[in-house]
Amino acid sequence: MSENTPIVGFVMGSDSDWPVIQKGTAVLEQLGVPFEARVLSAHRTPHDALEWAQTAADRGLKVIIAAAGMAAHLPGVVAASTLLPVIGVPIQSGALEGVDALYSIVQMPPGIPVATVGIGRADNAALLAVHMMAIENDDMRKALEDYRSQMRDKVRAADRGIQPG
């Protein structure tokens, strides 16, 4: 597989989830991690979603980030169909504004875990995916160190910015 073969797979239940997912793709672009992104619904295109999850590892993916809103079954269905780690992103949509999706994703039954981040936190999902891969990848560990160092500099600059005089 080439250096540009996607190793993180984003999957979302609707293209209305895409603006949220882009917070995660931006993080991976910044860290130089190749990814793919698909719209596949556990309810509206269940066979496509299953096929994608079942072939994910063979295509080279290492971690999956699955986002859905409302009765958010996609992360769990994907997790049940692959041995790759799955990170779920609850999407804020519908009358319950993401609390429904959060509970649907985080409350997995025993045996099929989904690592769940906060509502809309595709950026943290992307970082968590890189942390997982950094266990055995020095380039990724270095990229995360740089990312943290940039955050540290920003907070220190903000602190200096509010000091009197």
Note the residues at the interface with ligand RP5 (CB under 6 A): 12-14, 16-17, 41, 68-70, 91, 93
Burial class (CB in 10 A: 0-12, 13-18, 19+), 106: middle
Nearest CB to ligand RP5, comparing residues 19 and 32: 19
Considering the complex, what minimum distance in angstroms separates the CB of residue 112 from ligand RP5?
A: 19
Cβ-based neighbour number of residue 34 at 10 Å: 14
Q: Which are the contacts of 83, defined by CB distance < 8 A and separation ≥ 6?
A: 57
Rounded Cα distance, 52 and 56, in Å: 6
Considering the complex, what minimum distance in angstroms separates the CB of residue 27 from ligand RP5?
A: 20
Considering the complex, what minimum distance in angstroms separates the CB of residue 163 from ligand RP5?
A: 43
Considering the complex, what minimum distance in angstroms separates the CB of residue 69 from ligand RP5?
A: 2
The conformation of residue 17, written as its DSSP 8-state character, comes to: G
Contact 100, 94 (CB under 8 A): yes
Total length of the chain: 165
Nearest CB to ligand RP5, comparing residues 67 and 132: 67
> 42, 48, 39: which is closest to 15 by C-alpha?
39
Nearest CB to ligand RP5, comparing residues 34 and 46: 46
Nearest CB to ligand RP5, comparing residues 40 and 143: 40
Considering the complex, what minimum distance in angstroms separates the CB of residue 135 from ligand RP5?
A: 30
Q: What angle do CA 19, 50, 109 make, to 5 degrees?
A: 85
Nearest CB to ligand RP5, comparing residues 95 and 157: 95
